[in-house]
Structure 1
Amino acid sequence: MLRDHSDTENLGEPSTRRSASPISADDDFYGLDDLLPEPESPLPAPYSFSTYEIPSDIDLTVEDEDNRGRQLVLRLVGSHPLWNTARIFTTFLLKNPGLVKDRSVLELGAGAALPSIACAIAGAKQVVITDYPDTDLVENMRFNVDTNVPGNLRSSVDVVGHLWGHDVKHLMARTEDKGYDTLILSDLHDALIKTVNATTSPDGCVLVFFTSHRPHLVKEDNAFFPRLAESDGGWVYEKVVEEWAGAMFEEDPGDEKVRGTVHGWKAWRVKDGQKAGEKATS
């Protein structure tokens, strides 16, 4: 689902309590403050849980600390389900280990962080997981890492908030300013293009998996790739996945086939002899 990661800040003034009129120690009544109790603390975010089973045809040994076998357990903030896009993206990464093993991986807009967790288990050298810098989101990603990534691999995983299109010094510092070998994302916001250009290593690649949950905006969704291709000296992109997964929400309007198909694209910077844009098929 596309999300607007616009820059927001709390502009409200700090709350202050009004002072009651001065009273003597002998006065036998309560002041105004005593009649107005302190506001209750906000309730914690509601959670739900979902699972992902590593397919049996993927040769991957998982060091399991909790006897779950090959099942990953994801805690989700709120009541939204685990997106079909995340499931298919994760399976693609595990079936294409060359995109993961011994590479530095950055996920933008990670949500529950399933693809990143799979990258860590599959042998990524480094995994940096990011989403909107909201406390509940960031802490939930950390929870999922602690729950699913074996202890001997957790030191290679970092969770941090990042606002798309903003300063990436804190992300680049984690690679000694070399950039990331593989970027993974499932959103098509223009602000992502700036972050992609600023964090991908010269020989790195970007993987973008998404579903057009709003069929009337398919054209706008697909326009992300030509805009990426025209940026920062040029990018080449090609489709690597088109898979029916079923519509997430039956009550949503529009063509069910469009709403239920996951598209996966791979992009890389223009190399000698290449032209920016979609890779020509032979």
Structure 2
Amino acid sequence: MAEEDSLDMGDMFQDPEGFYEPEPEPTFAEHHMLNGQTVRVRLVGSHPLYGNLLWNAGRTSSHYIEERASTLIEGKDVLEIGAAAGVPSIVTAILGARTVVMTDYPDPDLVENMRYNAALAAPQIANSSSLYVDGYKWGAPVEPLFARLPEGATGFDVLIMADVVYSHREHPNLIKTMRETLKRSKDSVALVIFTPYEPWLLPKTEKFFPLAEENGFRVTKIFEKLMDNVLFENDPGVSVMRRLVDFANSSRMSA
């Protein structure tokens, strides 16, 4: 075909203006600490991993940590997985943890938003605390997380796992991460808190705990709490916290 006979397709394959709905804008939310401080965080506008929500489990675990900060957090090394907006991590850094590593799935939008929130909270964070942000996929190698620890540290004293066990197929990867990141000490704990947003799936969610016991963890149920406000339709508004101690590792340490 001669050049002068070629068809001019123009903008035939370009979507017309307004064809797609605009992406929701980021919003902000506040968490009110028991000591009177307010933690303000940005939530992504829309995200398939629900980074656009401030989860009830994050608020509840933050209050639990604050009530026990002197023995649970101060001077300790803390890892949060599935942090979303990162409220528990930020609260932990405010309360004087030595090291806090805030992580979620290595999605650029999620990671950038966590970094934004860490920077927003910087004036509130204790001078003795170091707060880091990383993308981390559950079950992946943990060396990048250990690189954040102070020299001589052999693992994390506390793991914060707020609303992560609802992802049933990820249970083995969660436990793998727990085993590889928790310090081998009788005082090291993983705090697992979840809300049965889909109560009909609660039996599947709770299978995480016997699986953890099979892998050497000692599981203790700490509390159930009725939330003031539900997050989703059909959400019964009950948060449950379990404390997991790596009993097998502790036994090896004392042997």
TM more than 0.5: yes
Q: TM-score, normalised by structure 1?
A: 0.72
| Alignment of 1:185 onto 2:152 | no
Residue deviations 1:57-78 (CA, integer Å, cap 9, x gap):
x4xxxxxxxxxx7111111113
Are the structure 2 counterparts of residues 43 and 101 from structure 1 closer, same or farther at C-alpha, using a change threshold of 3 Å?
farther
Number of aligned positions between the proteins: 230
Counterpart Cα distance in 2 of 1:185 and 1:161 = 15
| Rounded Cα–Cα distance in structure 2 between residues aligned with 1:220 and 1:179 | 30
Question: Which consecutive unaligned segments of at least 5 residues does structure 1 have?
Answer: 1-20, 59-68, 274-282
d(CA) in 1 for partners of 2:56 and 2:39? 15
Provide the TM-score with structure 2 as the length reference: 0.79
Distance 1:119 1:22 in 2: 71
Match of 1:123 in 2: 96
Question: RMSD in angstroms over aligned alpha carbons?
Answer: 3.0
Cα-to-partner distance string for 1:118-153 (whole Å, 9 max, x where unaligned): 000000100111001111100101111111132775
Once the two structures are TM-superposed, the CA of residue 205 in structure 1 deviates from its matched residue by 1.1
Distance 2:95 2:2 in 1: 67
Q: Aligned pair 1:137/2:110, yes or no?
A: yes
Separation in 2, partners of 1:212, 1:35: 48
The structure with the larger Rg is 1
* Alignment match, 2:225: 243
AA partner of residue 29 (structure 2): S
Structure 1 residue ranges (4+ consecutive) displaced by more than 3 angstroms after TM superposition: 29-40, 42-45, 151-155
Q: Aligned residue for 2:212?
A: 228
**Structure 2 residues not aligned, in runs of 5+:** 47-51
Contact 1:246 1:261 in 2 (8 A): no
Corresponding residue number in structure 2 for 1:198: 180
- For residues 96 and 262 of structure 1, what CA distance do their matches in structure 2 show? 18
Distance 1:22 1:169 in 2: 61
Label 1:34 to 1:78 Cα distance change in 2 as closer, same or farther (>3 A). closer
Query: How far apart, CA to CA, are the structure 2 residues paired with 1:132 and 1:199?
Result: 17
Which residue, 32, 38, 52 being the options, matches 1:53?
Answer: 32
Q: What is the percent sequence identity of the aligned residues?
A: 34
Deviations 1:70-122 (A, max 9, x none): 11111111364422211111011111112111011100000100000000000
